[in-house]
Amino acid sequence: AQSVTQPDIHITVSEGASLELRCNYSYGATPYLFWYVQSPGQGLQLLLKYFSGDTLVQGIKGFEAEFKRSQSSFNLRKPSVHWSDAAEYFCAVGGGNYGGATNKLIFGTGTLLAVQP
């Protein structure tokens, strides 16, 4: 079965510190991978995506993620966290692997990031 695991429910980092949010997936074929961010009461904003090619992808707001097929992981990183990064982060997997195209996304349970001053 396809699934996404985000092992860390809640993470607290100090402003200026580096950040890594973990994401592991289970998928029957080459996955399309996404990271979204959600501020309280808001919808989801796309941070970055991986379809193919270079396994290190850059996103908005200084975020990057690395696809590691051997580890079935797609961890999100940021070298220096800002207070405005406090939000909930969701990893998702999807892909047109069903003969036709489909946009169904399977989400992880999310990681809530708190930033200490």
Partner 1 sequence: KAGVTQTPRYLIKTRGQQVTLSCSPISGHRSVSWYQQTPGQGLQFLFEYFSETQRNKGNFPGRFSGRQFSNSRSEMNVSTLELGDSALYLCASSLGGKEDTQYFGPGTRLTVL
Contacts of 41 (CB under 8 A, 6+ apart): none
Of the two residues 40 and 117, which places its CB atom closer to partner 1 in the complex? Answer: 40
Per CB under 8 A, 53 contacts partner 1: no
Burial of residue 23 (CB within 10 Å: 0-12, 13-18, 19+) is buried
Please choose, out of 14-22, 55-63, 71-79, 89-97, the segment that lies near partner 1 by the rule CB under 8 A.
89-97
Per CB under 8 A, 99 contacts partner 1: no
Q: CA 63 to CA 75: how far, in whole Å?
A: 10
Per CB under 8 A, 49 contacts partner 1: yes
30 to each of 12, 21, 49, 61, how far by Cα in Å? 32, 21, 13, 27
Per CB under 8 A, 116 contacts partner 1: no
Q: CA 55 to CA 2: how far, in whole Å?
A: 21
**Secondary structure class of 112 (helix, strand, coil):** strand
Of residues 34, 35, 67, 74, which one binds partner 1 by CB under 8 A?
34
Of residues 5, 11, 15, 44, which one binds partner 1 by CB under 8 A?
44
Total interface residues for partner 1 by CB under 8 A: 28
- Chain residues binding partner 1 by CB under 8 A are 32, 34, 36, 41-46, 49, 51-52, 90, 92, 95-96, 98, 100-110
